[in-house]
Structures are given as C-alpha cells and as structure tokens.
C-alpha cells in the first residue's frame, strides 16, 4: 500500500499530460496518499527537483498544453549506477511509487526503477501513437486535429495558386499521424515509412487528374520518411506543377488538449494510482479494445503495433 507517490513527465511533451498529472494527483490525494511532482523527468528525480502537491496544485491545468512538471531527456539514466541513484533518491524522499508519463524510453527507466524495488507505472504520453501496447497515446488526438487545421489553411493558399503542397507531419518513425490526418484532409497521397511509395505513380495521377480539372494537390509526408525536400523537388520536376513544402513541426505538440485526450488521460491517470495503491509496479497503462487496461512493462516493450493498412488503402482508393 503506497503512502507517498511521485509523478513525472519524460521525453517529448504531449497535450493531455497535464490532465494525466491532475488525475494522478487528485486520485492519490483522495486515497489518502501524499503526492510530489518530480520536475524535468528523471533529471528531477536525480537532482531532487520535486514539489509537494495538493489538490490546488493541479487546478486550472486540465485545458493546458505542455506539462506543468516540465519534461526532459536524461540520457545517463540508461546506466545502472544512475538508476540506483534514482532508487536511493526515492527512498530518501519516502516515495513508494512513481507514475511515469512518457514513451517507450521513459518506460525502460520505469522498469529499471521497478526492478530496484520502486514500483513504477508508465502512462503512454506521446503525440506519435507509436507505443505498441496501447491503441491510443495521450496527445495523439490533439496533434492530429492541429495538423488537420493547419493543412486546411494550407489548402486555401494551394488552391488559390494552383499548387501542390507537400506537408510534413511529425510521428518520429511512425506514420499514424500522417495516415489519419491525410484521410481527414482528403490528401491526394500520403507517404509513410511503413509502406513503399512510388513518386512516378503519384506524379502520373496528378498529371491525369489535372487534365480532368483538378487544380491543386495536398500530399502528406510523415517525418520518418526523411525525404520531404527530395519528394517536393521530384514531384515538381515530374509534373511541372508548382510545389511547396511545409514542415508543421512543433506546432503539433502544443495547444489545448481535445476532449479525447483529456478524458483518456484522466482515466489512465486514475488507473495508475489504483495500481500503485495496491503496491503493484512495473506496468504500463494502455488502451485495448477501447478499454483501459495494464500490462507488464517488458511485455509492453516487446510488442509490435500493426500499421493502419486498411485506412491507407481506402485513402488511395478515394484520392484523385
Ligand atoms: P520517450 O519516453 O518519449 O520514448 P526517450 O526515448 O527520449 O523518450 O526517453 C526518455 C527518457 O527515458 C530518456 O531521456 C532516459 O532518461 C529514459 N530512458 C530511455 N531509455 C532508457 C533505458 N534503456 N533505460 C533507462 N532509462 C531510459
Ligand atoms: O515523439 C514526439 C516527437 O514530437 C516526434 O514526433 C518527433 O520526431 C520528436 O518528438 C521531436 O523531438 P524534439 O522535441 O526533440 O525535437
């Protein structure tokens, strides 16, 4: 039975992390535990950069993007001695458990601390939705909605100028944002790391549909493809259609979280506290068949996630 827990955010931030922090804090307080916020991920744990939290510490944050706990990468946390220092800090602060909100890298740190006797629960927080053990990651929906709004605006100017706009979206090595946003904006093509692509076929489709009256084009490229400039230049050369590239970048990481992100973050945060309350650690909370569940961290890290092949095929069958 945990009496005092910590919560931290680690790796890239994501909209909805604050909603998760709020849920963890309020749920734990309600269950009679003390709560500390650990700032700047594992760095804050090592440096003792912590703040005591009460119910008011998390007032007015559910609608805010970013993370009030700040986030950071702490590369040295891969070392056993550093993890042991983290464990010692937990003991020094009287922490019986930690909720770690982040991605796979952060979960490895959580697994290491759990193995050293500090129960840790991982919550999936990343805009990329690239965590295999869960259908959904906190921040994904907000990022996709932001990207969609931005591309709708780009379409206005692409239309006015009879241009082709190539838009690069985030996702690290995954194309989940790209394929869903591509479908949502009615992109003519989506290029992702998971599927082969054929620029000549895309160019030919553009030329043919231009003849039938289409005047502008939107092509979404996942950042993981790593060739946005090349794709832009090649499609211009192949089609003669004026082409512009836009890299949406970190705008996708900010902003007020959507309903979906706030609700799922709240459910996951609550579930994490329920586990720690029972002294259970070394688990990741995720979503499976649209329900909140938890899974062993090592098992979570060994899973693979299928790409959305059906959506990819439908997109190409409804484009042009
Ligand atoms: P994410 O959590 O979004 O995947 P990173 O891969 O950058 O982001 O990892 C975040 C942090 O998690 C790292 O800076 C480090 O502190 C910790 N971490 C990553 N990999 C490991 C590992 N193998 N062992 C222990 N801690 C790790
Ligand atoms: O994992 C979230 C993410 O925004 C990825 O989509 C992107 O590749 C990466 O983080 C960018 O990281 P940084 O904030 O270090 O530029």
Cβ atoms 177, 170 nearer than 8 A? yes
Nearest to 217 by CA among 281, 157, 291: 157
Residue with tokens 């697994």: 111
Question: 310 catalytic, yes or no?
Answer: no
pLDDT of residue 118: 98
Supply angle C-alpha 174, 180, 185, rounded to 5. 130
Per residue in 6-29, pLDDT (tens digit) is 999 999 999 999 999 999 999 999
Cβ atoms 133, 296 nearer than 8 A? no
DSSP 3: S
**Is residue 222 classed as helix, strand or coil in its secondary structure?**
strand
From 128, 130, 169, 222, the mutation candidate for ligand 2 (largest count of ligand atoms within 8 A of CB) is: 128
Q: Indicate whether residue 79 lines ligand 1 (CB < 6 A).
A: no
Name the pTM for this structure. Answer: 0.97
Ligand 1 atom with the shortest distance to the CA of 112: 25
Per residue in 161-196, pLDDT (tens digit) is 999 999 999 999 999 999 999 999 999 999 999 999
Please report which ligand is nearest the Cα atom of 169: 2
Of 13, 128, 141, 294, which is the active-site residue? 128
Ligand 1 atom with the shortest distance to the CA of 42: 16
pLDDT of residue 19: 98
Q: Name residues whose C-beta falls within 8 Å of residue 9's C-beta, 6 or more positions apart in sequence.
A: 17, 21, 41, 67, 69, 70, 71, 101, 102, 125
Average pLDDT over residues 120-126: 98
pLDDT of residue 276: 98
Nearest CA to ligand 2 atom 9: 172
Q: Mean pLDDT in the chain?
A: 97
Per residue in 69-95, pLDDT (tens digit) is 999 999 999 999 999 999 999 999 999
């Amino acid at each position: 039975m945990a009496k005092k827990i910590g919560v931290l955010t680690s790796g890239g931030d994501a909209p909805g992390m604050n909603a998760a922090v709020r849920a963890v804090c309020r749920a734990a307080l309600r269950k009679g535990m003390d709560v500390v916020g650990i700032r700047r991920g594992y760095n804050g744990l090592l440096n003792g950069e912590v703040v005591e939290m009460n119910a008011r510490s998390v007032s007015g944050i559910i609608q805010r993007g970013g993370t009030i706990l700040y986030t950071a990468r702490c590369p040295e946390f891969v070392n056993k001695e550093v993890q042991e220092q983290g464990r010692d800090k937990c003991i020094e602060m009287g922490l019986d458990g930690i909720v770690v909100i982040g991605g796979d890298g952060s979960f490895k740190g959580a697994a290491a601390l759990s193995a050293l006797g500090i129960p840790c629960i991982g919550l999936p927080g990343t805009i990329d939705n690239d965590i295999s053990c869960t259908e959904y990651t906190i921040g994904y929906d907000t990022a996709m909605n932001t990207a969609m709004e931005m591309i709708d605006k780009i379409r206005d100017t692409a239309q006015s100028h009879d241009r082709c706009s190539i838009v690069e979206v985030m996702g690290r090595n995954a194309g989940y944002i790209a394929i869903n946003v591509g479908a949502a904006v009615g992109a003519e093509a989506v290029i992702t790391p998971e599927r082969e692509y054929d620029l000549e076929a895309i160019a030919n489709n553009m030329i043919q549909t231009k003849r039938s009256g289409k005047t502008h084009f939107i092509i979404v490229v996942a950042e993981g493809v790593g060739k946005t400039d090349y794709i832009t230049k090649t499609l211009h050369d192949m089609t003669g259609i004026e082409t512009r590239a836009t890299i949406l970048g970190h705008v996708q990481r900010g902003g007020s979280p959507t309903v979906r992100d706030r609700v799922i973050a709240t459910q996951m945060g609550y579930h994490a506290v329920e586990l720690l309350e029972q002294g259970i650690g070394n688990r990741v909370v995720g979503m499976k068949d649209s329900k909140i569940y938890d899974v062993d961290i090592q098992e979570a890290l060994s899973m693979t996630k299928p790409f959305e092949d059906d959506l990819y095929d439908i997109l190409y069958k409804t484009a042009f």
